[in-house]
Structure 1
């Protein structure tokens, strides 16, 4: 199966608005194309954060927490096994202790043993902790049975989550989720770590009004390094509110003020803290935290984020680095299997519009990465399945979608049309998870294909690359490259600048066994510019002249004033 060549479209954006002279014309144009026409919209600050008041049930949530703190009751924070869940757990534990909680413990499900979220089995495993209040972070909205099991033991339950709710809500004492029906909080894009941070902001206010603090208020902004990492890692849209949170967290990390674990992870990932970007988080820090939940136990990742001991943080970061290397090897093997499985499928087969992949030898912790890579390669919604544990007839699936198709809605449509076929599902517009029995896989694949065909506009099956147009010859320099790097945070909904142009290929070679190094010449610029196309070693030799989609970046390898183009896409041009 192959996908047609993508369409390249340029963004519109007149560089109008009210800008200080320090913002160069290139950035004004880029910001305007993303709907930001002044500095506050382009680079929002914490002073402009939305207040927590509009979050549904925020008062009930803070009453539960305040009562537990005043009474000295045990608060059990239950995290999730991805980076958002791990950072949310660390923010909850650190923040509650800052606000006076004397007995805060935490736990996280083991992916293989407990499955996703707060399950009855996990509640049984946690029974010995006997909490007064159980707080879920980054999950819980779909954990009806687990919440009911916790309530049956006499525990109070506070659910904090950001995933889309189903038709019924779990029987918790309070639920804080900006995506609840009727919720008035203006940003629906908070990650799980953002939700618990907002709960802490509201809790601090309640405690302050009750006279809990004699001196200065606890400074919750010290948690924003973790909030930034979890928000970026979870690929939620970086709306104005999220960009304010992420910007503040990046400033802490760049200033060496991050927690010991994050500083150790930056070091082991080979990144420069002073110049840290959202890309460094997404490709350097987050994968190492995620790897623990995928192959081992996310408890390792959470401990790394909770320790204040620099030596212990370096030891834990090194462990996570090793697990991530193992994850990459497992992922590549699974990707090779997946590519072989789809190689013979015809490109326009209607049954292949929604692609289901399964291998009994795959690891359930890595199927999401495989689904994501195959979705990118095929530009089709993809679900990858693996046994919940070796030899198990229970399958765990991870789904990834393309723009314009809400993948959770697809699973909901399957569930309505075929009750009981899916045992459990939940997620977002672009990513979701599910479980079903092995014997149901063939029926599910047919139902999934039918649901996708019914909900997907066929025009969306042709990928589109949206760029910021061409750079002027004078803009290929370190000044503009540094401005572009530092002008973010860039991410979902506020994409990193991407340019396109026509270049003559002066020279090229394969480097590192997998990457294509190019020397390109642009009309009107006498000196050639270096470029690299990662992972392009299998492609045909470059044409003498090509249209190239790229990012402009400082060349950290050569240093100084050197720049390079990071190639995203190439098309040959007639000479």
Structure 2
């Protein structure tokens, strides 16, 4: 059993929970879970349980949305060549597809470009602007990048090319001199929800364009709901909080995704082996998104973009098979880098630091983000993995709740060539000679600012139950809170002082343990993945923390066990 992690009981206003439960006729436990997710009124609770597209905000609330819309209208009317310039991850790819497909369907002369991670790197670069200008591009629309592309935007201006930036990354105090910048993190932007991804921003942009195109007679009214599957994939893949606007996008987008109306995503589901299943946020995050990201991690992301934009099933299947092959290769490379990074951490004693930093020669920059995430999971500490090649280090950073890794990296600017990111993830480029200085700075910063509670293993328990409350009915109520993810974690439930009646090692490699517990006449089964070495003994009196699930065959509630400890 595990007696290391702290179990933290969430505090809830019980009178508020009763008020919400009675007002909208839901169990009090569900009302408690909603309160823990920031819901404070019955109306908010209804909107959360039944999110409506009508609850999305007006695109006009974005700073520069009107300017961006007007410039794109001008480009369409004058038949100017437009380039939608995206990023090579799932969010950038879906955002590029949304905008390019809508513009193309509206009669625009549009092309797309996604940079090669290995040869060109992230974002809009001056040399790429020059080559696009030579092709006759008059308007570049960046999605999921561009907010720090000062030099590239200046070059574009000198060449007579306008740039519109559609980005969700935090800007510098001084913005690039673009025609328009649609970014909810702008200090002067009053849009009420800042945690959108690029796909969400792209959807809002085409919403604004649809309104203006229709007013001007450029198009008949167009239904934008078919784009929601792409918005959901981008939103879930980019790990933005699944609340407010993002919850609306995710719920309605997953419904679209399960209808198999887009050839590319249907083909991707098929090669991932999940075509016959009901696709939820977990399937997007762990099956679809990694495959979309795979080609961009290894080099040219063209196949991923071609997949999303494919118009027929055969074409889509061809691209999906390429992504599957690249994903298999990506897994092998990622595991190798992760193993080497883990060995480096222990060999150098870095596991004792409050921030984990691993540096290796030749580590593939396309998978260092995966390695960094695995270090976070292993040590519960902010982690940075830097791959060195030709005297330059490319780093990927991941964090834990309570430590803003994006701000930390920004504060290390004197040591860096380039950087950017969010509170939970960031990227950097550093000269090899500066790496010791960077490590010393970040380790000292972490030592001074990371409280022990932030990195101590802990489990946040949403609610304690009696074992008899673990029922199929409770599962169905909790399912109404789907999709789960950032900002809306799957509820963690716990039962106390139950007796272990069975504990059996199962699975390939004998890595998992199947457990049954009882309290009086009530018995519930559960599975504890990858924890066979912590298996309890029959007869033990234990506490169990778990997510509730359902055995479809037997119709019984089960536990996806998170932790088991001696009863307290």
Same fold (TM over 0.5): yes
Q: How many angstroms apart in 1 are the aligned matches of 2:129 and 2:199? A: 22
Could you tell me whether the CA contact under 8 Å between 2:467 and 2:522 is conserved in 1? Answer: no
> 1:299-342 CA deviation, whole Å, 9 max, x = no partner?
11111111121122122222212221222222222222122222
Question: Larger deviation: 29-38 or 55-64?
Answer: 29-38
| Residue of structure 1 equivalent to 2:89 | 82
Could you tell me whether the CA contact under 8 Å between 1:79 and 1:88 is conserved in 2? Answer: yes
How far did residue 495 of structure 1 move? 1.4
Q: How many angstroms apart in 2 are the aligned matches of 1:536 and 1:74? A: 57
Could you tell me whether the CA contact under 8 Å between 1:81 and 1:111 is conserved in 2? Answer: yes
Q: Does 1:280 align with 2:276?
A: no
Could you tell me whether the CA contact under 8 Å between 1:77 and 1:89 is conserved in 2? Answer: yes
| Residue of structure 2 equivalent to 1:129 | 135
How far did residue 152 of structure 1 move? 2.8
Question: Larger deviation: 85-94 or 497-506?
Answer: 497-506
| Residue of structure 2 equivalent to 1:92 | 99
Q: How many angstroms apart in 2 are the aligned matches of 1:466 and 1:453? A: 24
Q: How many angstroms apart in 2 are the aligned matches of 1:74 and 1:454? A: 52
| Residue of structure 2 equivalent to 1:239 | 243
Q: Does 1:412 align with 2:410?
A: yes
Q: For 1:354-373, list aligned pairs within 5 A.
A: 354-373=355-374
- Sort the Cα spacing of 1:495 and 1:425 in 2 relative to 1 into closer, same or farther, 3 A: same
How far did residue 425 of structure 1 move? 0.5
List gaps (5 residues or longer) in structure 1: none
| Residue of structure 2 equivalent to 1:47 | 54
- Sort the Cα spacing of 1:467 and 1:540 in 2 relative to 1 into closer, same or farther, 3 A: closer
Q: How many angstroms apart in 1 are the aligned matches of 2:337 and 2:118? A: 18
Query: What is the TM-score normalised by the length of structure 1?
Result: 0.91
Could you tell me whether the CA contact under 8 Å between 1:473 and 1:524 is conserved in 2? Answer: no
How far did residue 563 of structure 1 move? 4.3
How far did residue 401 of structure 1 move? 1.3
Q: Does 1:554 align with 2:550?
A: yes
Report SS of the residue matched to 1:104.
strand
Q: How many angstroms apart in 2 are the aligned matches of 1:447 and 1:525? A: 58
Q: 1:530 aligns with which of 526, 530, 538?
A: 526
| Residue of structure 2 equivalent to 1:12 | 11
> 1:341-375 CA deviation, whole Å, 9 max, x = no partner?
222566885xx212211111311011111111111
Query: What is the TM-score normalised by the length of structure 2?
Result: 0.92
How far did residue 260 of structure 1 move? 1.2
Could you tell me whether the CA contact under 8 Å between 2:526 and 2:561 is conserved in 1? Answer: no
How far did residue 568 of structure 1 move? 2.5
Q: 1:455 aligns with which of 449, 472, 475?
A: 449
Report SS of the residue matched to 1:489.
coil
Report SS of the residue matched to 2:190.
coil
Q: For 1:131-210, list aligned pairs within 5 A.
A: 131-210=137-216
Report SS of the residue matched to 1:145.
helix
Report SS of the residue matched to 2:123.
coil
Q: How many angstroms apart in 2 are the aligned matches of 1:156 and 1:224? A: 28
Q: How many angstroms apart in 2 are the aligned matches of 1:528 and 1:59? A: 57
How far did residue 120 of structure 1 move? 2.1
| Residue of structure 1 equivalent to 2:397 | 399
Could you tell me whether the CA contact under 8 Å between 1:45 and 1:247 is conserved in 2? Answer: no
Q: How many angstroms apart in 1 are the aligned matches of 2:327 and 2:270? A: 15
Question: Larger deviation: 368-377 or 476-485?
Answer: 476-485
Could you tell me whether the CA contact under 8 Å between 2:513 and 2:531 is conserved in 1? Answer: no
How far did residue 483 of structure 1 move? 4.0
Could you tell me whether the CA contact under 8 Å between 1:477 and 1:561 is conserved in 2? Answer: no
Q: 2:226 aligns with which of 222, 232, 245?
A: 222
